[in-house]
């Protein structure tokens, strides 16, 4: 039986003025509609239109947060513009990403990539995290350019490149001139790339990274961190050499 | 007590950069450092710190603090009450005031004298802290439930393996509380295991608690960490063991609810007993409630070896096969076909002192602990999948190699969640 969308009018009216501590009972109807929308494209479209209206000006942070959670489940490209408009908003950026990161297709990724250039500081680190979770190859040169700037952003960029773990990402990390905590993040990311290459069967690429890191750490690590990195590089190197070493 | 240091991310970055170039203090050898008949010399002790010192964290701290082969040096908690209590227990034990107290876990992890940490924070922090600890070269004892999302497990395991860390999950009950089902299963008395029934609690719920003034004794932003920003309310962050509201264990941003919190034990015991430790379900079947109201909804997990684990299956639907061999424990029923199979030795903890001793022994020997993080994360796939199909109200198929559900975009959206900036894995 099709979902009766007239039952949504009152809950959506209540949602407009919802704040934490308010009556959440009307949400049960919306929650049920979101589940039903899995098999009902018309209902999904109806819900997205209603949700987009809540994401505009004049509604509370709590209401927007609720909507982003729901769009993270059923949102499509149609919801991207309303969500993208929140990405530069300090209060709502994370929840916009919460939804966009989960929506399939190129539109949400394009929106996140565009916002990467529009925001700074922690919000930029957030965009990097979401783009990395989507393994967006087009972000690699953008992340690479961020390795030399604000340390917090540079660390996020390094971790993002490690998550993408493509040859281009590995090359960008290898070229990074970093110090301190950023350098540590670059090493972690290079190890992640090498592990990914090894898992994919590219022993040559993996070996080159493991050798470079092993050489950089040296034979006399002084700290727990250095010992762990050396272990990662040397055990990785061993694995990369495994089928070429004489028994 | 004044916090030992600041908590901002940028401040932390500056501090660690500065610390890297700082001169080291002279080291004075004390009589205690040399050890005695009951205490190993300092060089042989595992130096530990604890992150999250509330209800479970204080218990874990006690388990490690009481060991002569552990030197406990630092605590970290975003709540002043727990931080001070944790420091007080350490200082009381050693008769000094040397235990460092941190608000920000990154500062504790930056201390190179610390070999291992125990973590008992709300669940949204588990993966970030565990991976950060591995990167810092620390071994980790991590309270259960080890994961909050399905995607976190493989990343945590990868970090542990990459850096050669000993990472133990934290359910002591798996080995200690379910022997009446574990022993007959491992002894072969049930034959080949065919099915399991277990009762599990509800999943976590959304939180709409009202905003209240944030007290000065909690760093609220750091308490939330990667979770969505929501206003302070004591019911949102209380560490009591309830899951019906007024505790973080109730709410979806910080926990999987009773389903994962107690489920880590219940599924843990079941999966250990039934020999499913290395496996992940291939099918998760949603059985809706019957129209006549006689049957509530329930979920069946099907493992690749054919074992079916039924969660909350109504009693009248459970088989009454007289030939089945049944072991009951804590609401768990395991059935076997009675076929002859050879007995296997039940794995045991290493060292002495239960699961804490197992962890410490493995830190020393570099063996994998009884509750190795990979086995713990495999276990957690079960309650996470149950929660997912309960939420979606439909059945799913799992591709373990791809770590994806087959042909269900919405289900795959729920494998993970965006973390609040600046936190990332």
Least confident of A197-206, B39-48, B75-84, B210-219: B39-48
List, in order, residues 6 or more apart from B186 with CB less than 8 Å away.
B273, B275, B343, B344, B345, B346
Q: Which of B137, B233, B416 sits opposite A225 (nearest CB)?
A: B137
Is residue A59 in a domain?
yes
d(CA A107, CA A100): 9
Query: Strand locations in B39-178, DSSP E?
Result: 46-51, 70-76, 100-102, 116-119, 139-143, 167-170
**Which pLDDT band holds residue A245 (cuts at 50, 70, 90)?**
very low
Least confident of A133-142, A184-193, B166-175: B166-175
d(CA B204, CA B202): 7
Segment B161-176 shows an average pLDDT of: 94
Segment B351-369 shows an average pLDDT of: 97
**A118 inside 8 A of chain B by CB:** no
Give A192's contacts in chain B (Cβ within 8 Å). 158, 162
Q: Mutation test of the interface with chain B: which of A28, A161, A232, A233, choosing the one with the most B Cβ atoms within 10 A? A: A232
Helix and strand numbers (H, E) in chain B are: 15, 14
Helix%, strand%, coil% for chain B, nearest 5: 35, 15, 45
**Which pLDDT band holds residue A244 (cuts at 50, 70, 90)?**
low
* A10 min Cα distance to partner chain B (Å): 19
pLDDT, position B33? 57
Cβ neighbour number for residue B183 with a 10 Å cutoff: 14
Is residue A106 in a domain?
yes
Q: Which residue of A has its CA nearest to B418?
A: A98
The order of strands in the sheet holding B167-170 is: B100-102, B70-76, B46-51, B116-119, B139-143, B167-170
Of B162, B154, B160, residue with least CA distance to B142:
B160
- For residue B1, pLDDT over 70 is answered with no
Q: Report percent pLDDT > 70 for chain A.
A: 98
Give B228's contacts in chain A (Cβ within 8 Å). 65, 94-95, 98
Q: Which residue of A has its CA nearest to B409?
A: A104
Query: Strand locations in B205-296, DSSP E?
Result: 283-287
Any idea what DSSP says for residue B284?
E
pLDDT, position B22? 36
Is residue A19 in a domain?
yes
d(CA B252, CA B153): 18
Is residue A168 in a domain?
no
**Contact predicate B67/B356, CB 8 Å:** yes
Crossing angle for the helix pair A9-16 and A27-36, to the nearest 10 degrees: 120
Six-digit token pair at B346? 């039940």
List, in order, residues 6 or more apart from B388 with CB less than 8 Å away.
B150, B284, B396, B411, B414
d(CA B143, CA B239): 13
Q: What is the mean pLDDT of chain A?
A: 95
pLDDT, position A218? 85
List, in order, residues 6 or more apart from A48 with CB less than 8 Å away.
A71, A74, A75, A76, A78, A79
Q: Which of A155, A188, A235 sits opposite B164 (nearest CB)?
A: A235
Six-digit token pair at A139? 């972000």
- For residue B10, pLDDT over 50 is answered with no
Of B176, B69, B186, residue with least CA distance to B116:
B69
**Full domain range(s) for residue A100:** 1-119
Contact B413 A223 (CB under 8 A): no
Q: Which of A19, A225, A232 sits opposite B164 (nearest CB)?
A: A232
**Which pLDDT band holds residue B21 (cuts at 50, 70, 90)?**
very low
Is residue A219 in a domain?
no
What domains sit in chain B, N to C, each tagged with a CATH number?
Answer: 38-172+355-361 (3.40.50.720)
- For residue B13, pLDDT over 90 is answered with no
Distance (Å) of CA B384 to CA B95, B103, B111, B255, B288: 44, 30, 34, 11, 18
**A181 inside 8 A of chain B by CB:** yes
* B344 min Cα distance to partner chain A (Å): 32
Of B159, B66, B82, B109, residue with least CA distance to B374:
B159
**Contact predicate B253/B365, CB 8 Å:** no
Is residue A75 in a domain?
yes
pLDDT digits (tens, 9 = 90+) for A29-63: 999 999 999 889 999 999 999 999 999 999 999 99
d(CA A84, CA A93): 9
**Which pLDDT band holds residue B34 (cuts at 50, 70, 90)?**
low
Distance (Å) of CA B121 to CA B238, B334, B378, B387: 11, 33, 20, 21
Contact A98 B228 (CB under 8 A): yes
Segment B265-273 shows an average pLDDT of: 94
Contact A125 B135 (CB under 8 A): no
Least confident of A18-27, A129-138, B24-33, B320-329: B24-33
SS3 B47: strand
**A120 inside 8 A of chain B by CB:** no
pLDDT, position B35? 66
**A27 inside 8 A of chain B by CB:** yes
**Contact predicate A130/A111, CB 8 Å:** no
d(CA A41, CA B24): 65
For residue B198, give the H/E element and its range.
strand B193-198
Of B182, B171, B125, B189, residue with least CA distance to B152:
B125
**ipTM attached to this prediction:** 0.96
Is residue A9 in a domain?
yes
d(CA B52, CA B76): 6
d(CA B325, CA B330): 17
Give B229's contacts in chain A (Cβ within 8 Å). 91, 94
Is residue A51 in a domain?
yes
Give B410's contacts in chain A (Cβ within 8 Å). 38, 73-74
**B291 inside 8 A of chain A by CB:** no
**Contact predicate A126/A96, CB 8 Å:** no
pLDDT, position B191? 94
Give B116's contacts in chain A (Cβ within 8 Å). none
Contact A181 B17 (CB under 8 A): yes
Of A64, A120, A131, A134, residue with least CA distance to A95:
A64
Phi, psi of B93 (to 5 degrees): -65, -45
**Which pLDDT band holds residue A133 (cuts at 50, 70, 90)?**
very high
d(CA A190, CA A182): 12
Distance (Å) of CA B69 to CA A137, B39, B92: 49, 7, 17
**A154 inside 8 A of chain B by CB:** no
Contact A128 B424 (CB under 8 A): yes
For chain A, what is the domain count?
Answer: 1
Q: How many CB contacts within 8 angstroms connect chain A with chain B?
A: 132
Six-digit token pair at B395? 């059945």
What is the dihedral sign for C-alpha B65, B69, B74, B79? negative
Any idea what DSSP says for residue B183?
H
Of B90, B323, B83, residue with least CA distance to B222:
B83
pLDDT, position B322? 65
- For residue B7, pLDDT over 70 is answered with no
Q: Report percent pLDDT > 90 for chain B.
A: 82
- Region of residue A124 (phi > 0: left; psi between -120 and 50: alpha; otherwise: beta): alpha
Helix and strand numbers (H, E) in chain A are: 14, 0
**Which pLDDT band holds residue A165 (cuts at 50, 70, 90)?**
very high
Query: DSSP states of B371-423 as a string?
Result: TBHHHHHHHHHHHHHHHHHHHHTS-EEEETTTTEETT-HHHHHTT--PPPTT-
d(CA B266, CA B81): 31
Q: Report percent pLDDT > 90 for chain A.
A: 92
pLDDT digits (tens, 9 = 90+) for B108-160: 999 999 999 999 999 999 999 999 999 999 999 999 999 999 999 999 999 99
- For residue B330, pLDDT over 70 is answered with yes
């Amino acid at each position: 039986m099709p979902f009766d969308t007239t039952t949504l009018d009152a809950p959506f009216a209540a949602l407009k003025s919802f704040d934490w501590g308010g009556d959440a009972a009307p949400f049960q109807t919306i929650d049920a509609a979101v589940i039903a929308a899995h098999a009902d494209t018309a209902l999904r479209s109806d819900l997205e239109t209603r949700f987009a209206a809540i994401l505009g000006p004049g509604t509370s942070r709590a209401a927007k947060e609720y909507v982003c959670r729901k769009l993270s489940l059923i949102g499509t490209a149609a919801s991207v513009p309303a969500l993208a408009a929140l990405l530069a908003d300090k209060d709502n950026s994370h929840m916009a990403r919460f939804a966009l990161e989960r929506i399939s297709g190129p539109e949400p990724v394009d929106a996140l990539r565009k916002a990467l250039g529009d925001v700074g500081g922690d919000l930029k680190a957030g965009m990097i995290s979401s783009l990395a979770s989507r393994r967006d190859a087009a972000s690699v040169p953008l992340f690479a350019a961020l390795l030399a700037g604000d340390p917090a952003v540079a660390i996020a960029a390094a971790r993002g490149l490690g998550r993408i773990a493509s040859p281009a990402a590995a090359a960008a990390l290898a070229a990074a001139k970093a110090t301190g905590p950023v350098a540590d993040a670059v090493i972690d990311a290079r190890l992640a790339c090498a592990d990914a290459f090894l898992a994919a069967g590219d022993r040559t690429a993996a070996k080159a990274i493991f050798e470079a890191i092993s050489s950089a750490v040296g034979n006399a690590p002084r700290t727990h961190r250095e010992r762990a990195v050396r272990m990662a590089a040397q055990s990785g190197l061993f694995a990369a050499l495994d089928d070429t070493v004489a028994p | 007590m004044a916090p030992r240091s600041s908590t901002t991310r940028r401040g932390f970055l500056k501090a660690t950069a500065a610390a890297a170039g700082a001169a080291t203090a002279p080291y004075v050898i004390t009589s205690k450092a040399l050890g005695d008949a009951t205490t190993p010399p300092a060089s042989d002790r595992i130096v530990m710190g604890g992150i999250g010192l509330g209800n479970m964290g204080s218990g874990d701290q006690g388990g490690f603090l009481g060991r002569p082969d552990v030197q406990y040096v630092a605590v970290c908690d975003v709540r002043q009450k727990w931080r001070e209590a944790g420091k007080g227990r350490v200082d009381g034990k050693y008769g000094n005031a040397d235990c460092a107290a941190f608000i920000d876990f990154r500062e504790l992890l930056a201390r190179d004298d610390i070999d291992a940490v125990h973590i008992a924070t709300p669940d949204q922090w588990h993966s970030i802290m565990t991976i950060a600890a591995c990167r810092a070269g620390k071994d980790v004892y991590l309270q259960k439930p080890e994961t909050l999302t399905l995607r976190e497990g493989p990343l945590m395991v990868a970090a542990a393996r990459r850096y050669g860390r000993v990472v133990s999950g934290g359910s002591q009950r798996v080995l200690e509380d379910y022997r009446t089902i574990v022993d007959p299963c491992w002894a072969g008395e049930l034959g080949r295991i065919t099915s399991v029934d277990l009762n599990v609690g509800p999943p976590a719920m959304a939180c709409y608690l009202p905003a209240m003034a944030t007290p000065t004794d909690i760093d609220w932003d750091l308490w939330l960490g990667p979770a969505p920003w929501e206003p302070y309310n004591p019911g949102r962050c209380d560490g009591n063991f309830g899951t019906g509201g007024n505790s973080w264990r109730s709410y979806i941003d910080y926990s999987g609810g009773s389903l994962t919190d107690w489920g880590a034990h219940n599924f843990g015991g079941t999966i250990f007993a039934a020999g499913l430790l290395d496996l992940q379900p291939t099918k998760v079947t949603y059985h809706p409630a019957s129209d006549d109201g006689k049957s509530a909804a329930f979920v069946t997990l099907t493992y690749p070896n054919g074992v079916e684990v039924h969660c909350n299956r109504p009693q009248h639907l459970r088989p009454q096969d007289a030939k089945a061999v049944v072991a009951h424990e804590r609401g768990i029923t395991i059935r076997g076909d009675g076929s002859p199979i050879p007995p296997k030795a039940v794995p045991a903890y290493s060292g002495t002192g239960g699961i804490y001793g197992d962890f410490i022994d493995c830190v020393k020997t570099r063996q994998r602990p009884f509750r190795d993080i990979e086995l713990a994360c495999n276990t957690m796939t079960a309650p996470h999948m149950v929660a997912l199909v309960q939420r979606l109200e439909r059945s799913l198929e799992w591709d373990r190699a791809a770590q994806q559900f087959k042909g269900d975009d919405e289900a795959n959206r729920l494998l993970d969640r965006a973390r609040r900036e600046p936190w990332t894995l």
